A = this chain, B = another copy of it.
Amino acid sequence: MDEFEIIDRFFSKLGDQTSDHVLLGPGDDCAVVSVPSGWELCVSTDTLVEGVHFPLDSPGELVAHRAFSASVSDLAAMGALPHSMTGALTMPEAREPWLAAFAEALGDLSSSFNIPLIGGNLSKGPLMVTMTVMGIVRSGTALLRRGAMPGDSVYVTGEPGRAAAGLALHVAGVKSELTSAYTKPTPRLSVGERLIGIASSAIDISDGLFADLQHICQASQVGAEIEINGLPVSKEREEHAGRDQAILSALTGGDDYELCFTVPERMSTSIDRVTKETAVPITRVGRIIEGAGVSVPGVELTQPGYRHFE
Protein backbone atom coordinates (compact mmCIF):
# COMPACT_ATOMS: atom_id res chain seq x y z
CA MET A 1 0.00 0.00 0.00
CA ASP A 2 1.37 3.43 -0.91
CA GLU A 3 0.15 6.66 0.66
CA PHE A 4 -2.69 7.17 -1.84
CA GLU A 5 -4.02 3.65 -1.25
CA ILE A 6 -3.82 4.11 2.53
CA ILE A 7 -5.69 7.40 2.36
CA ASP A 8 -8.28 5.86 0.08
CA ARG A 9 -8.77 2.78 2.20
CA PHE A 10 -8.68 4.18 5.72
CA PHE A 11 -9.20 7.91 5.65
CA SER A 12 -11.36 8.83 2.66
CA LYS A 13 -14.61 8.04 4.44
CA LEU A 14 -13.65 10.45 7.24
CA GLY A 15 -13.67 13.16 4.61
CA ASP A 16 -17.15 12.22 3.43
CA GLN A 17 -18.83 13.56 6.53
CA THR A 18 -21.02 16.45 5.50
CA SER A 19 -21.21 19.79 7.24
CA ASP A 20 -22.70 23.15 6.34
CA HIS A 21 -19.26 24.64 6.88
CA VAL A 22 -17.36 22.36 4.50
CA LEU A 23 -17.64 23.43 0.86
CA LEU A 24 -14.77 21.24 -0.39
CA GLY A 25 -13.34 18.36 1.63
CA PRO A 26 -10.07 16.45 1.23
CA GLY A 27 -8.58 15.67 -2.20
CA ASP A 28 -7.70 19.04 -3.72
CA ASP A 29 -4.79 21.34 -2.90
CA CYS A 30 -6.80 22.88 -0.07
CA ALA A 31 -10.10 22.30 1.63
CA VAL A 32 -12.57 25.19 1.34
CA VAL A 33 -14.72 26.09 4.33
CA SER A 34 -17.08 28.89 5.28
CA VAL A 35 -17.44 30.80 8.52
CA PRO A 36 -20.94 32.15 9.19
CA SER A 37 -21.29 35.91 9.16
CA GLY A 38 -21.11 37.28 12.72
CA TRP A 39 -18.89 34.43 13.89
CA GLU A 40 -15.14 34.08 14.30
CA LEU A 41 -12.86 31.10 13.84
CA CYS A 42 -10.78 29.58 16.67
CA VAL A 43 -7.72 27.62 15.55
CA SER A 44 -5.34 25.40 17.49
CA THR A 45 -2.53 23.00 16.58
CA ASP A 46 -1.19 20.16 18.74
CA THR A 47 1.44 17.52 18.14
CA LEU A 48 1.72 14.14 19.85
CA VAL A 49 5.02 12.26 19.55
CA GLU A 50 5.45 8.55 20.26
CA GLY A 51 7.56 8.00 23.36
CA VAL A 52 7.05 11.62 24.45
CA HIS A 53 3.28 12.20 24.55
CA PHE A 54 2.13 8.59 24.51
CA PRO A 55 3.90 5.29 25.28
CA LEU A 56 5.79 3.34 22.61
CA ASP A 57 3.66 0.73 20.85
CA SER A 58 0.39 2.39 21.84
CA PRO A 59 -2.63 1.10 19.92
CA GLY A 60 -4.05 3.26 17.12
CA GLU A 61 -7.25 3.80 19.07
CA LEU A 62 -5.39 5.35 22.01
CA VAL A 63 -3.36 7.65 19.75
CA ALA A 64 -6.48 8.81 17.89
CA HIS A 65 -8.34 9.51 21.13
CA ARG A 66 -5.49 11.45 22.68
CA ALA A 67 -4.60 13.43 19.55
CA PHE A 68 -8.23 14.36 19.01
CA SER A 69 -8.93 15.29 22.62
CA ALA A 70 -5.72 17.23 23.20
CA SER A 71 -6.56 19.53 20.30
CA VAL A 72 -10.35 19.70 20.51
CA SER A 73 -10.01 20.49 24.20
CA ASP A 74 -8.49 23.82 23.15
CA LEU A 75 -11.72 24.63 21.32
CA ALA A 76 -13.67 23.78 24.49
CA ALA A 77 -11.48 26.20 26.44
CA MET A 78 -12.50 29.01 24.07
CA GLY A 79 -16.20 28.15 24.29
CA ALA A 80 -16.18 27.33 20.56
CA LEU A 81 -18.57 25.15 18.62
CA PRO A 82 -16.83 22.49 16.52
CA HIS A 83 -16.13 23.42 12.88
CA SER A 84 -13.51 21.19 11.20
CA MET A 85 -10.03 19.69 11.55
CA THR A 86 -6.96 18.56 9.62
CA GLY A 87 -4.67 15.74 10.66
CA ALA A 88 -1.04 15.02 9.80
CA LEU A 89 0.16 11.48 10.48
CA THR A 90 3.68 10.16 10.05
CA MET A 91 4.59 6.53 10.69
CA PRO A 92 7.64 4.40 9.94
CA GLU A 93 5.72 1.80 7.97
CA ALA A 94 2.14 1.20 6.87
CA ARG A 95 0.88 -1.19 9.56
CA GLU A 96 -2.65 -2.02 8.48
CA PRO A 97 -4.27 -3.07 11.78
CA TRP A 98 -2.87 0.00 13.53
CA LEU A 99 -4.06 2.30 10.74
CA ALA A 100 -7.50 0.68 10.74
CA ALA A 101 -7.87 1.17 14.51
CA PHE A 102 -6.57 4.75 14.34
CA ALA A 103 -8.83 5.73 11.46
CA GLU A 104 -11.90 4.07 12.95
CA ALA A 105 -11.47 5.78 16.32
CA LEU A 106 -10.77 9.15 14.69
CA GLY A 107 -13.82 8.68 12.46
CA ASP A 108 -16.04 7.88 15.43
CA LEU A 109 -14.83 10.94 17.32
CA SER A 110 -15.16 13.10 14.21
CA SER A 111 -18.79 12.16 13.74
CA SER A 112 -19.83 12.10 17.40
CA PHE A 113 -18.37 15.55 18.01
CA ASN A 114 -19.37 16.77 14.55
CA ILE A 115 -15.89 17.85 13.47
CA PRO A 116 -15.32 16.74 9.88
CA LEU A 117 -11.77 15.98 8.74
CA ILE A 118 -11.17 18.39 5.86
CA GLY A 119 -7.62 17.47 4.96
CA GLY A 120 -4.29 16.25 6.11
CA ASN A 121 -0.98 14.72 5.35
CA LEU A 122 0.37 11.18 5.43
CA SER A 123 4.13 10.62 5.25
CA LYS A 124 6.76 8.12 6.16
CA GLY A 125 8.48 9.19 9.37
CA PRO A 126 8.58 8.62 13.12
CA LEU A 127 5.14 7.96 14.63
CA MET A 128 3.58 11.36 15.31
CA VAL A 129 0.23 13.08 14.90
CA THR A 130 -0.40 16.81 14.47
CA MET A 131 -4.02 17.93 14.54
CA THR A 132 -5.19 21.41 13.63
CA VAL A 133 -8.73 22.01 14.87
CA MET A 134 -11.13 24.81 14.11
CA GLY A 135 -14.20 25.99 15.99
CA ILE A 136 -16.50 28.97 15.77
CA VAL A 137 -17.65 31.53 18.33
CA ARG A 138 -19.97 34.51 17.96
CA SER A 139 -17.83 37.57 17.27
CA GLY A 140 -16.14 38.92 20.36
CA THR A 141 -17.34 36.22 22.76
CA ALA A 142 -14.43 33.75 22.88
CA LEU A 143 -13.33 32.75 26.38
CA LEU A 144 -9.76 33.93 26.92
CA ARG A 145 -7.16 33.25 29.59
CA ARG A 146 -7.18 36.91 30.47
CA GLY A 147 -10.30 38.26 32.15
CA ALA A 148 -10.13 36.73 35.63
CA MET A 149 -10.73 39.34 38.38
CA PRO A 150 -10.09 39.24 42.12
CA GLY A 151 -13.18 37.84 43.81
CA ASP A 152 -14.00 35.43 40.96
CA SER A 153 -14.37 31.77 41.88
CA VAL A 154 -12.20 29.10 40.26
CA TYR A 155 -13.94 25.98 38.95
CA VAL A 156 -12.85 22.72 37.37
CA THR A 157 -14.78 20.07 35.45
CA GLY A 158 -14.48 16.42 36.40
CA GLU A 159 -11.61 15.16 38.52
CA PRO A 160 -8.29 16.49 37.20
CA GLY A 161 -5.40 14.11 37.86
CA ARG A 162 -7.26 10.95 36.87
CA ALA A 163 -5.45 10.68 33.53
CA ALA A 164 -1.96 11.02 35.01
CA ALA A 165 -2.81 8.32 37.58
CA GLY A 166 -4.37 6.26 34.79
CA LEU A 167 -1.26 6.54 32.64
CA ALA A 168 0.90 5.15 35.45
CA LEU A 169 -1.49 2.20 35.85
CA HIS A 170 -1.76 1.75 32.06
CA VAL A 171 2.03 1.58 31.70
CA ALA A 172 2.24 -0.85 34.65
CA GLY A 173 -0.38 -3.04 32.95
CA VAL A 174 -2.90 -2.63 35.79
CA LYS A 175 -6.55 -2.56 34.74
CA SER A 176 -8.50 0.20 36.46
CA GLU A 177 -11.32 2.63 35.82
CA LEU A 178 -8.67 5.34 35.88
CA THR A 179 -6.88 4.10 32.78
CA SER A 180 -9.68 5.18 30.45
CA ALA A 181 -9.22 8.77 31.69
CA TYR A 182 -5.83 8.50 29.99
CA THR A 183 -6.67 6.32 27.01
CA LYS A 184 -10.00 7.96 26.16
CA PRO A 185 -10.13 11.51 27.48
CA THR A 186 -13.23 13.52 26.60
CA PRO A 187 -12.92 17.12 25.47
CA ARG A 188 -15.41 19.26 27.39
CA LEU A 189 -17.00 20.98 24.40
CA SER A 190 -20.49 20.82 25.88
CA VAL A 191 -19.36 22.70 28.99
CA GLY A 192 -17.16 25.20 27.15
CA GLU A 193 -19.85 26.47 24.81
CA ARG A 194 -22.19 27.05 27.79
CA LEU A 195 -19.58 29.09 29.68
CA ILE A 196 -19.73 31.96 27.19
CA GLY A 197 -21.23 34.93 29.00
CA ILE A 198 -20.65 33.19 32.34
CA ALA A 199 -16.91 32.57 32.74
CA SER A 200 -14.46 35.46 32.93
CA SER A 201 -11.53 33.27 31.79
CA ALA A 202 -10.88 29.65 30.85
CA ILE A 203 -8.12 27.18 30.00
CA ASP A 204 -7.96 23.45 29.46
CA ILE A 205 -5.90 21.42 31.90
CA SER A 206 -3.15 19.76 29.90
CA ASP A 207 -0.22 20.31 32.28
CA GLY A 208 -2.08 20.03 35.59
CA LEU A 209 -4.47 22.34 37.44
CA PHE A 210 -1.69 24.07 39.37
CA ALA A 211 0.38 24.82 36.23
CA ASP A 212 -2.53 25.79 33.99
CA LEU A 213 -4.21 28.04 36.53
CA GLN A 214 -0.87 29.91 36.58
CA HIS A 215 -1.40 30.68 32.89
CA ILE A 216 -4.77 32.25 33.71
CA CYS A 217 -3.15 34.25 36.52
CA GLN A 218 -0.33 35.46 34.28
CA ALA A 219 -2.65 36.45 31.45
CA SER A 220 -5.11 38.14 33.84
CA GLN A 221 -2.44 39.67 36.10
CA VAL A 222 -4.00 38.23 39.22
CA GLY A 223 -3.22 35.56 41.79
CA ALA A 224 -5.23 32.49 42.81
CA GLU A 225 -5.70 30.40 45.89
CA ILE A 226 -6.71 26.76 45.63
CA GLU A 227 -8.57 25.30 48.61
CA ILE A 228 -7.56 21.66 48.91
CA ASN A 229 -10.66 20.74 50.86
CA GLY A 230 -12.71 21.66 47.84
CA LEU A 231 -10.64 19.67 45.31
CA PRO A 232 -12.52 16.91 43.51
CA VAL A 233 -10.26 13.98 44.33
CA SER A 234 -10.54 10.70 42.49
CA LYS A 235 -11.83 8.00 44.86
CA GLU A 236 -9.96 5.27 42.98
CA ARG A 237 -6.77 7.31 43.17
CA GLU A 238 -7.26 7.82 46.92
CA GLU A 239 -7.75 4.08 47.43
CA HIS A 240 -4.64 3.26 45.38
CA ALA A 241 -2.26 5.89 46.66
CA GLY A 242 -3.67 7.57 49.78
CA ARG A 243 -5.22 11.00 50.31
CA ASP A 244 -2.04 13.07 50.06
CA GLN A 245 -0.95 11.53 46.77
CA ALA A 246 -4.47 11.86 45.40
CA ILE A 247 -4.46 15.58 46.20
CA LEU A 248 -1.06 15.94 44.56
CA SER A 249 -2.40 14.17 41.47
CA ALA A 250 -5.39 16.49 41.36
CA LEU A 251 -3.09 19.52 41.47
CA THR A 252 -0.29 18.44 39.15
CA GLY A 253 -1.53 15.59 36.96
CA GLY A 254 -1.96 16.60 33.33
CA ASP A 255 -3.45 14.96 30.25
CA ASP A 256 -7.11 14.99 31.41
CA TYR A 257 -8.27 17.89 29.29
CA GLU A 258 -10.69 19.03 31.94
CA LEU A 259 -11.50 22.75 31.94
CA CYS A 260 -10.43 25.25 34.57
CA PHE A 261 -12.32 28.55 34.53
CA THR A 262 -13.19 31.57 36.62
CA VAL A 263 -16.66 32.97 37.29
CA PRO A 264 -17.65 36.32 38.79
CA GLU A 265 -19.82 36.14 41.92
CA ARG A 266 -22.91 37.45 40.09
CA MET A 267 -22.79 34.59 37.55
CA SER A 268 -22.12 31.78 39.99
CA THR A 269 -25.71 30.55 40.09
CA SER A 270 -25.49 29.78 36.37
CA ILE A 271 -22.98 27.00 37.02
CA ASP A 272 -25.66 24.66 38.40
CA ARG A 273 -27.54 24.99 35.13
CA VAL A 274 -24.40 24.11 33.12
CA THR A 275 -23.88 21.02 35.29
CA LYS A 276 -27.51 19.99 34.83
CA GLU A 277 -27.49 20.50 31.07
CA THR A 278 -24.20 18.69 30.48
CA ALA A 279 -24.14 16.08 33.26
CA VAL A 280 -20.50 17.04 33.78
CA PRO A 281 -19.51 17.55 37.45
CA ILE A 282 -18.22 21.08 38.06
CA THR A 283 -16.52 21.95 41.35
CA ARG A 284 -15.45 25.22 42.92
CA VAL A 285 -11.78 24.79 43.89
CA GLY A 286 -10.65 28.25 44.88
CA ARG A 287 -10.73 31.94 44.16
CA ILE A 288 -8.92 34.68 42.33
CA ILE A 289 -7.07 37.19 44.51
CA GLU A 290 -4.95 40.24 43.90
CA GLY A 291 -1.27 39.55 43.34
CA ALA A 292 0.44 36.90 41.25
CA GLY A 293 0.90 33.13 41.15
CA VAL A 294 -1.10 30.24 42.52
CA SER A 295 -0.92 29.27 46.17
CA VAL A 296 -2.30 26.13 47.74
CA PRO A 297 -2.39 26.63 51.51
CA GLY A 298 -1.32 23.40 53.24
CA VAL A 299 0.54 21.95 50.25
CA GLU A 300 4.08 22.66 49.13
CA LEU A 301 4.28 22.65 45.36
CA THR A 302 7.21 23.41 43.14
CA GLN A 303 6.52 21.38 40.03
CA PRO A 304 5.47 23.83 37.31
CA GLY A 305 4.07 21.21 34.91
CA TYR A 306 5.83 19.32 32.15
CA ARG A 307 8.15 21.33 29.93
CA HIS A 308 9.87 20.11 26.79
CA PHE A 309 13.66 20.55 26.46
CA GLU A 310 14.14 21.12 30.19
Residues on A lying within 8 angstroms of B by beta carbon are 1-4, 6, 23-24, 27-35, 37, 40-47, 49, 52-53, 74-75, 77-78, 80, 84, 86-88, 90, 93-94, 118-126, 128, 130, 132, 134-135, 137, 139, 142, 144-145, 202-204, 219, 307-310
Contacts and interface: CB of A to CB of B under 8 A. Distances in A.
A121 B29 contact: no
6 shortest interchain CB distances as A-B pairs:
A49-B125, A30-B42, A29-B77, A2-B307, A132-B132, A3-B308
Given A307-B2, A309-B1, A310-B2, A130 B47 contact: yes
Given A43-B118, A125-B52, A307-B4, A75 B30 contact: yes
Give this chain's copy count: 2
B90 A47 contact: yes
Contacts of A34: 35, 40-41, 139
A29 B204 contact: yes
B32 A78 contact: yes
A136 B145 CA distance: 28
Nearest to A48: B123
Given A3-B308, A34-B41, A46-B121, 5 more contacts: A1-B309, A24-B144, A29-B204, A30-B77, A34-B139
Contacts of A86: 43-45, 132
Given A2-B309, A123-B308, A308-B122, A41 B47 contact: no
Contact of A30 (B30, B33, B80): B80
Contacts of A42: 30-32
A289 to B, nearest CB: 22
B219 A28 contact: yes
B43 A30 contact: yes
A132 B45 contact: yes
Contact of A29 (B2, B35, B145): B145
A24 B145 CA distance: 11
Given A29-B77, A29-B78, A145-B28, A45 B119 contact: yes
A124 B308 contact: yes
Contacts of A4: 307
Most chain B beta carbons < 10 A, residue from A35, A120, A125, A134: A125
A43 B33 contact: yes
A81 B33 CA distance: 14
B135 A30 contact: yes
A74 B28 CA distance: 9
5 contacts: A30-B77, A34-B40, A34-B139, A47-B125, A124-B309
Contacts of A90: 47, 49, 128
B33 A40 contact: yes
A30 B125 contact: no
B53 A123 contact: yes
Nearest to A31: B43
B45 A35 contact: no
